[in-house]
Structure formats: C-alpha cells, structure tokens
Structure 1
Amino acid sequence: MAELTIQIPDELAEQLEPLRDRLPELLSQLVRTDSPAATSVAISTATLSEFPRAYLEVLDFLVTRPTSQDIIAFKVSPAAQNRLSSLLDKNREGSLSESEVAELDAYEQLEHLMLLMKARAMASGNP
C-alpha cells in the first residue's frame, strides 16, 4: 500500500482525527465513481473544471486555513446549491444519468465531511 503525506493546518488535522481510520476509504469513495469528475485523482491529468463546483469550493475554502468560526459559517455558493437542488429533483423523479448519480454521491460525501468538520469546530470552542 502506498503512503501519502500532505500538509494541512493543525486545526484541520484535529477535526479530521476522528476520521483518520476511514480517510483511505473516504478518499477511495470520492474517486471510485464513473463520473468525469472522479476518473483521475492526479490533478496533473485532470483539469479542475471536471470537478463538481461544490467540491472545488470546499477545496478552495480548506486551503485558506479556516478558523473554527469560518468552518461553522461555511456554505457553498448559491450556484452549487442550485445544482444540488436540481440533482435532488431529478433523483426524486428517477431520471438521473450515471454521471449525475456520481455527482450527487460526491455532494453527499462533501456534505457529510462538512457536517463532521462543523461539529468538531463547534466542539472545539476555538475561534
């Protein structure tokens, strides 16, 4: 098994600590879909425009080294929220394409990650 080392802010590391054992699984789920957004993990072989808008917004947010308060207040853009709403409507109608199913799965995983981060930020009590 390969080992990957990344540098992240200490605060983010603390928030991700409860997920430490599941991080490989969670990352694998993010890239193990049929969507164009997840066919390649290597940024050098994939353009950023292939990733769902919300995914890029979360990444852009995380690289700013957000405080606990920033994490608690974070919301994706109205455009990303509208896309999610559209995907949810199509899902209720049963008319999602394979790539849309994968995109909706990515939104669900991002939402789960952000909820966990917000819960940890609230529990930490640090600004």
Structure 2
Amino acid sequence: MAELTIQISDELAQRLEPLQNRLPELLWQLLDVANLPTNSQPTIKTETTDIPAVYQEVLDFLIKRPTPEEIITFKVSPQAQSRLSELLEKNRAATLSPMELAELDVYEQLEHMMILLKARALKRD
C-alpha cells in the first residue's frame, strides 16, 4: 500500500483529525464525485466549476461549523431545489445526459449525508 504525505494548514488538520480513519474512503468518494482519473497522470484543477452548485452550497454551510439546531433546520436554496426538480423530471422522462445523471447522483449522496447529520444532531438535542 502506498503512503501519501501532504502539507495542510493546522486548522484543516484539526478538522480532519476525527475523520483520519476514513480519509482513504473519503478520497475515493471525492474522486468519484469529481470524475477525476485515478490511474493516469494526475491533473490539478484550480476551478470548482465542475462541482454542482448544491455541493458547494452544502460545503459552505458545513465549513461554518453549524450548531445542531442549524443542521436540523438546514435546507438547500430554492435554486438548488428547482434544479433537483428539473433533474428528477428529466430522469422520469429518461432524458438525462450523463453529466446530469452524475449531478443527480450528487444530490442523492448529499441528501443521504444530510439525513445522517440531522439524525445525529437530533440525538444531541
């Protein structure tokens, strides 16, 4: 098994510490979401335009370290909800492009994650 060493800020290291046992799994998920090649020459992306807006929206929410109450009441923006409705309609009509299918998958993964977060937040209240 290969070992990877990276330099990160102290703040990021503190935030990643509780997840250190899951980092390989999370990196695989990141590669799946970003559709990055895993066996070819690595590429460095400096833009986040390929990441669905809803993903960025959830990340922005989580990076603010929300309270359990804020997690419980969190909802994506009306724009994200509208986009999800559009994708679901296209899915029902079987007219999704491969990119749209990947985007819909991101919505599904984020929904699952938020359900788990809200369940844990409810246990803390």
TM-score normalised by L of structure 2? 0.74
Unpaired segments ≥5 residues, structure 1:
none
Q: Contact conserved, 1:9 with 1:65, CA < 8 A, in 2?
A: no
Q: Percent identity?
A: 51
Cα distance, 1:64–1:91 mapped onto 2, change above 3 Å: same
Partner of 2:35: 39
The aligned runs of 1:1-127 (5 Å cut-off) are 1=2, 2=4, 6-8=13-15, 24-25=24-25, 27-32=27-32, 38-40=34-36, 45-125=45-125
Structure 1 residue 30, shift from structure 2 partner: 4.3
Q: Contact conserved, 1:31 with 1:40, CA < 8 A, in 2?
A: yes
Unpaired segments ≥5 residues, structure 2:
7-11
What root-mean-square deviation, in Å, do the aligned CA atoms of Structure 1 and Structure 2 show? Answer: 2.9
Structure 1 residue 49, shift from structure 2 partner: 2.7
How many residue pairs were aligned?
113
Structure 1 residue 96, shift from structure 2 partner: 0.5
Higher relative contact order (CA closer than 8 Å, sequence separation 6+)? 1
Q: Radius of gyration: which is bigger?
A: 2
Counterpart CA distance in 1 for 2:97 and 2:57 is 23
